[in-house]
Structure 1
């Protein structure tokens, strides 16, 4: 393991291995401690897509919510469906919601808002690419979550974890925006192990990860978009040796996405 790999592992707080029960308890306690410290918090809000990450965090958030209410706090978890029109993996999203069983389940279809924004830009001379439109969908989803959080006196939860943070595989100010990031430090493999421990149906953690933001490339897999497998990303984050080609791709993704992990640059903090 070279210095760069060690630096990334330390920066992203990745453990070489986890105990799913202990890790689950640590995340639950983190959420509970936050609410106890800031007693004005009345809700957690999270968009539920039917993918591994939101299913995992949604379930843990509901477990924390249940414990807080049992201990005398008054708090709700809002599981929010945010389809763009008709969701292609609708069945998975429904199954995820059933598994999570949130305090409040709500659906906001973002298609009309996204399409109106795209049209307004086109009318002003800006024809957006499918990729840029996809980023707009992610940002619209986060806008909705923050509106619900403001309305319910809550905070928005984010699903960012080490494998995403390393590669920058999220939309800046979209799914990368949140108040709390409870999954920090986990890689994809570890998140899958926790879902198994929590009793999720296999198809909810075995499904091929996809952001599904581009209309021209429906259900494009994360791995195809990244150019490297999560298996190699996870091995890298656990301090293991990965093939040279995978290492080089991971290194490139890490450097290219540094701006996503930093606060906004100003005159005094530009990277060297």
Structure 2
């Protein structure tokens, strides 16, 4: 393991291995501690896609809410489905909701809002590519979550974890925007371990990860988009050796996405 790999692992707080039971307890306690500190919080809000990350965090959030309410709080978890029209893997999203059993389940179709924004830009001469339109979808989803959080006196949860943080595989100010990021420090493999411990159906953590943001490339896998496998990303984050080609790709993705991990630059903090 070279110096760069060590630095990245340290910055992203990744453990070489986890105990799923202990990690679950730590995640729940983190959310409970936040509510204990900020007692005005009345809700957690999270978009549920049917993928591993949102299913995992949704379940953790509901477990925390259940414990908080048993202890005398009055707080709800809002699980929000945010399809763009008809969701291709809708069955997975429904199964995720059944597994989570959120306090409140909401479905909001973002297609009218996204299409209206894209059309307004087009009318002004800014014709968006399919890729950029995908970012518009991600940001619209986050906008909806913040609206619900504001309406219900709550905070928005984010699913960003170490494998995404390493590669920058999220939309800046879209799914990368949130008030709390409980999954920080976990890689994809460790998230699966916790899902198994929590008793999730295998298809919810074994399905091929996809952001599904591009109309022209429906259900494009994360690994195809990244150009590297999660197995190699997770190995890298756990301090293991990876093939040279995978290492070079991970390093490139890390440097290219540094701006996503930084607060907005100003005249005093611009990197040299």
What's the secondary structure of 1:260's corresponding residue? Answer: helix
Residue of structure 1 equivalent to 2:99: 99
Q: Deviations 1:120-160 (Å, cap 9, x if unpaired)? A: 00000000000000000000000000000000000000000
Match of 2:122 in 1: 122
Q: Return the TM-score normalized by structure 2.
A: 1.00
Separation (CA, whole Å) in 1 of partners of 2:129 and 2:268: 33
In structure 1, the partner of 2:160 is 160
Please give the alpha-carbon distance, in whole angstroms, between the structure 1 residues aligned to 2:248 and 2:271.
21
> Structure 1 runs of 4+ off > 2 angstroms?
none
What residue number does 1:32 align with? 32
2:185 is matched with 185
User: In 1, Cα distance between the equivalents of 2:107 and 2:36?
Assistant: 29
C-alpha distance in structure 2 between counterparts of 1:39 and 1:267, whole Å: 36
1:264 corresponds to which residue? 264
Partners of 1:38 and 1:170 in 2: how far apart? 28
Shift of 1:269: 0.4
Partner of 2:77, secondary structure, is strand
Superposed, 1:224-243 pairs within 5 Å as 224-243=224-243
RMSD: 0.2
- Tell me how far apart the structure 2 counterparts of residues 177 and 24 of structure 1 sit (CA, whole Å): 23
Give the whole-Å Cα distance in 2 for the aligned partners of 1:224 and 1:81. Answer: 25
Whole-angstrom CA distance in 2 between matches of 1:248 and 1:264: 27
Q: Distance in 1 between matches of 2:157 and 2:21?
A: 21
Query: Which residue of the partner structure matches residue 202 of structure 2?
Result: 202
Q: Secondary structure at the match of 1:165?
A: helix
Rounded Cα–Cα distance in structure 1 between residues aligned with 2:55 and 2:223: 19
State the aligned residue count.
Answer: 272
Q: Say which SS state the counterpart of residue 250 (structure 2) adopts.
A: helix
Alpha-carbon distance in structure 1 between the residues aligned to 2:57 and 2:162? 14
Uncovered stretches (5+) of structure 2, i.e. residues with no partner:
none
Q: Secondary structure at the match of 2:109?
A: coil
Q: Distance between the aligned counterparts of 2:207 and 2:80, measured in 1?
A: 20
5+ long unaligned stretches in structure 1: none
